[in-house]
Amino acid sequence: MNKELQNPAAIDFMKVCENLHDGIHVSDGEGRILYVNKGYTRTTGIEAKDIIGRTVAEIEKEGKLYKGSVTERVLQTRERVDSVATIFKLDKEVLVTGIPIFDDDGNICYVVTNTRDFPELKNLESQLSNMAEEQRKTNQELAYFRRHQTGDRPLIYRSHAMEALMEMIRSVAQTEANILITGESGTGKELVANEIYLNSARYGKPFIKVNCAAIPAELLESELFGYEPGAFTGARSTGKDGLFEVANSGIIMLDEISDLPIPLQAKLLRVIQQRELIRVGGTRPIKLDIRIIAATNKDLAKEVEAGNFRKDLYYRLNVVPMEIMPLRNRREDIVALSEYFIKNFCKKYDKSLRFSPGGIDELVAYEWPGNVRELENMIERIVVVNPTGTVITHEHVYSALNHSGMKPELEKLGGEKLKDLIAAYEKTIILSAIEHEGSMRKAAQVLGVDHSTLVKKCKIYAEKDA
């Protein structure tokens, strides 16, 4: 540092004071005004020539310029004094702070008063209050979105396989180990990731989910790793944080990790090994404190053998493997999930429906190639198309599966002809209408057929069932 600048005598304090925003008012140990700066005149409207050489007591007694000065009180108390003064000329209040300055003998040689414009302070106070309120709202919104990022849907299960999986989740969630979740599409990999987050020490911190298959390959690198200003044509002038940076201090879920291009797999390996990344177009490493959950519906070991996935990355991600069994291998869960879904969808659509034992049996017997997602969509369809009060029988479920394009096993058709399948579907509709309307005549009106036609059809169905 320059030695001259260390010497207070080298500083032009008068020039400094003249350029301060706040008003500076200096009096001697008798309260006689020695100096006021431009900020004082700007704040109070009082010119220096009107007060220099006069005592504060004299001005107060005169009662024309101001009242509420702190100079006299500082001289009496020998301490700092804060107060509000009234400026008559501008008809406003200002905040004044008086501070005593002592000589070597302990006597007050100066009283320095700082004058601040009260409206400006009020404005700053208002701004600070608004900022605090905005911060509060932002925190609330952030908490809201984090809650909705995990969703309010729990893992529903009764099977031993899922119970064992939940035990593993509870065991490893508090650790920092990377986790690889595998399972067919629709088995609930995202829900398992939610449970890990909710039970982890990072709960309440960022939880970012990225579907690697949903982002075009040419954009995936900049989305994950961010970029520096001017990194490429169309890049923001300010640059952009990548999703790894957004998730910093929290957890990131990389879904469909098998779709990550090989070049990005190398960059992801660096993130895992060195806990840092370099943005696109950048050179500066950015430190990360992050936990990774990966998920895929493919066999990554086979992808490694095929040369589609790096072996070293596979081992880094597969520290704790979690496999979710397909729904057809845990049929006990079909019953629990079906009851959960129909209850929720009845509430959503303001209806009252329930499954008959036969309806549940039909659900359990189906193979569910789309797993839980397929089951959920099918039950929503059933709730939407059926009137309230309907008991969902095996005919309803069978029809819903076929109507949705979900083809049952060929042997399940039992060699039935098209006309028989159509008749079964017609019977389901008629019985539902009669149950909902309370009489065959009202049901006929709703269905747009003659009452006699409906009676004949019901008689035919009754004879077939006999």
Torsion of CA 270, 276, 280, 282, to 10 degrees: -120
pLDDT of residue 6: 57
DSSP string, 80-132: -EEEEEEETTTTEEEEEEEEEEE-TTS-EEEEEEEEEEHHHHHHHHHHHHHHH
Confidence of residue 360 (pLDDT cuts 50, 70, 90): very high
Express each pLDDT in 48-92 by its tens digit: 999 999 999 999 899 889 988 899 999 999 999 998 888 888 888
Q: pLDDT at position 431, please?
A: 78
> What pLDDT, on the 0 to 100 scale, is given for residue 151?
62
**The pLDDT of residue 422:** 73
- What does the pLDDT read at residue 363? 93
CB atoms closer than 10 angstroms to residue 327: 26
Distance, CA of 230 to CA of 228 (rounded, Å): 6
pLDDT of residue 172: 96
Residue 224: CB atoms within 10 Å: 25
What the block records as the tokens of 404 is 């949705």
Mean pLDDT over all residues of the chain?
Answer: 86
pLDDT of 423-448, one tens digit each?
A: 777 887 887 777 666 677 777 777 77
Residue 5 vs residue 263, higher pLDDT: 263
Distance CA 261, CA 221 (A): 9
Q: For residues 401 and 364, which has the higher predicted lDDT (pLDDT)? A: 364
Predicted pLDDT at 407 = 46
Contact 91, 64 (CB under 8 A): no
Q: Is 186 left (phi over 0), alpha (psi -120 to 50) or beta?
A: left
Which residue has tokens 């500083």?
11
Question: What distance in Å separates the CA atoms of residue 223 and residue 5, rounded to the nearest whole number?
Answer: 49
Model confidence pLDDT, tens digit, residues 135-176: 776 666 566 555 556 666 788 999 999 999 999 999 999 999
Residue 277 has pLDDT above 70, yes or no: yes
Q: Considering only CA atoms, which of 228, 189, 227, 226 is closest in space to residue 209?
A: 189
The pLDDT value recorded for residue 40 is 92
Q: What percent of the chain has pLDDT over 90?
A: 56
On the question of pLDDT at 230 being above 50, the answer is: yes
Say whether 144 sits in a helix, a strand or coil. helix
On the question of pLDDT at 325 being above 60, the answer is yes
> Does residue 410 surpass a pLDDT of 60?
no
User: How does residue 27 score in pLDDT terms, banded at 50, 70 and 90?
Assistant: very high
Structure tokens at 59: 């001005």
231 secondary structure, DSSP code = S
Answer for the pair 202, 251: CB distance below 8 angstroms, yes or no: yes
Distance between CA atoms of residues 353 and 376, nearest Å: 15
Q: Which of 272, 267, 249 is nearest to 180 (CA)?
A: 272
Beta strand 23-28 pairing with 33-36: antiparallel
CA dihedral 125, 129, 131, 137 (to 10 degrees): 180
> Per residue in 176-215, pLDDT tens?
999 999 999 999 999 999 999 999 999 989 999 999 988 8
Q: Cα–Cα–Cα angle for 442, 445, 380, nearest 5°?
A: 85
Place of tokens 């006929």: 444
Q: Enumerate domains of the chain plus CATH numbers.
A: 3-121 (3.30.450.20), 151-325 (3.40.50.300), 328-465 (1.10.8.60)
